[in-house]
Amino acid sequence: MIRERAPAAVVAAGIVAVIGGGFSALSIAGSFLIISHSDFSLYGLAPTSAVRSILYLTWAFFLVCAGFLVVCGFCVIRLRNWARLSLLVMAGGGLLFGAVGLGFTVLTIYSTPDDPVVSKPLLLSVLAFIYGLPVLAAVWWLVLFTRRPVVEQFRAASAAMRAAGRASHPIEPDCPLAVRAVGWYLASFVLFLPFLPFLPSRLPALYFGHFFRGPSAILAHFLSFSLCAVPGIGLLLRKRWGYLLAMGGQLLFCVNCLAVAFSPSFAANMRAGYAELGLPLWFSSSLTHMRYLVLLSLALPVVILVVLTVYRRPFYAAADRKARSG
């Protein structure tokens, strides 16, 4: 059997994924070493164990994502359809997080005092370059891997593998890709659940305008992450209850963001939160910008709600077919 060869554009995309994933993994590992061996008290910062735990968990999550990106890069060159779909999911998430992250960074920079050493325009240029490259790569992958000739070539390669008795990772073809992307994103929160009981008791939580500390904060985080993970798993299993829970959960998160942003105790909660985390007081001085940052976090749940609304009928049809098939 003659093996199907990937076109040059797909090979280039795979190489970029391998290089990007490898560079990201090295950067995350380097950041971990620097933070864990640095004394920030010289700069007026005193990160608490809660802040360090948040950083370590976040880096661990993105380190796993970077490793998976490297694997997808190699496999997409071999025309594995699951790798193509995975890169599409990661590209969609990268595009959204890159745009939101860039907006978050811009607001954060302009809400902090001027630095006599590094000017704000220079810092913005560097950050625009850092965020811009992943966004450009995400747009490229979204365009490339959804083109009909490319999709047909991957499907032909998968069919040839099944005919040869070497089927690749099974992918449900009738579930909308956008819903699968939402499902994988929400289900990924299950990775954080085992670590929550071991987080420091000083890690605060802010839900619906109320400030939680200690065990009640950990319980609030556990319920919040579970409300993401369980519906995500349901979407991946093509269950109607997963769709309903996902819609309800994201609506609840939207209400939470609005309640936090417009709560009468917003200023007091922000100052208490930063004090609990050991962050400098000047970081909580511009409450107007912080309110904007909280409202900016609405972007992701709103996008998820739009995707689920648009693909409700195709998802329900796929769920019904799976229920009938047993």
Of the two residues 95 and 101, the one the predictor is more confident about is 95
Least confident of 67-76, 108-117, 208-217: 108-117
What is the Cα–Cα distance from 144 to 137, expressed in whole angstroms? 10
**pLDDT digit string (tens) for 140-152?**
999 999 998 998 8
Instruction: Report the pLDDT value the prediction gives residue 70, as an integer from 0 to 100.
Output: 93
Summarize the confidence of residues 25-38 as an average pLDDT: 76
Instruction: Report the pLDDT value the prediction gives residue 284, as an integer from 0 to 100.
Output: 47
Tell which of 171, 192, 227 closes a domain. 171
Query: Which amino acid, residue 182?
Result: V
Residue 181 · residue 236 · CB < 8 Å: no
One domain, residues 50 and 136: yes
What is the Cα–Cα distance from 232 to 180, expressed in whole angstroms? 9
Element (DSSP H or E) covering residue 265: none
- Report the half-sphere exposure of 122 (CA within 13 A, side-chain side): 6
Instruction: Report the pLDDT value the prediction gives residue 43, as an integer from 0 to 100.
Output: 47
CA distances 118 to 41, 124, 125, 167, 172, Å, are 20, 10, 11, 54, 50
> Of 278, 211, 283, which is closest to residue 52 (Cα–Cα)?
278
CA distances 251 to 57, 123, 177, Å, are 26, 35, 22
Residue with tokens 């909308």: 176
DSSP line for 9-76: HHHHHHHHHHHHHHHHHHHHHHHHHHHHT--GGGGT----HHHHHHHHHHHHHHHHHHHHHHHHHHHH
One domain, residues 164 and 180: no
Of the two residues 279 and 57, the one the predictor is more confident about is 57
One domain, residues 206 and 109: no
Tell which of 148, 171, 194 closes a domain. 171
What is the Cα–Cα distance from 189 to 224, expressed in whole angstroms? 9
One domain, residues 161 and 193: no
- Averaged confidence pLDDT in the chain: 81
> Of 298, 323, 299, 278, which is closest to residue 41 (Cα–Cα)?
278
Of the two residues 165 and 122, the one the predictor is more confident about is 122
**pLDDT digit string (tens) for 158-201?**
777 777 665 444 444 578 888 988 998 899 888 888 888 777 76
Residue 208 · residue 260 · CB < 8 Å: yes
What is the Cα–Cα distance from 148 to 187, expressed in whole angstroms? 29
Banded model confidence at residue 41, pLDDT cuts 50, 70, 90? low
Q: Is the pLDDT of residue 265 over 70?
A: yes
Residue with tokens 């625009």: 128
Output phi, psi for 207, to 5 deg: -135, 130
> What residues make up the domain containing 289?
174-326
Banded model confidence at residue 113, pLDDT cuts 50, 70, 90? low
One domain, residues 2 and 34: yes
Token pair of 20 as six digits: 């990007």
One domain, residues 151 and 183: no
**pLDDT digit string (tens) for 215-257?**
888 888 899 999 999 999 999 999 999 999 999 999 999 999 9
One domain, residues 244 and 287: yes
CA distances 116 to 123, 167, 281, 283, 301, Å, are 12, 59, 19, 17, 38
One domain, residues 188 and 149: no
What is the Cα–Cα distance from 157 to 151, expressed in whole angstroms? 10
Count of domains for the chain:
2
One domain, residues 131 and 4: yes
Tell which of 171, 194, 218 closes a domain. 171
Distance between start and end Cα atoms, the chain: 35
One domain, residues 78 and 166: yes
**pLDDT digit string (tens) for 287-319?**
667 787 788 788 889 989 999 999 999 999 999
One domain, residues 148 and 273: no
Least confident of 93-97, 110-114, 239-243: 110-114
One domain, residues 204 and 133: no
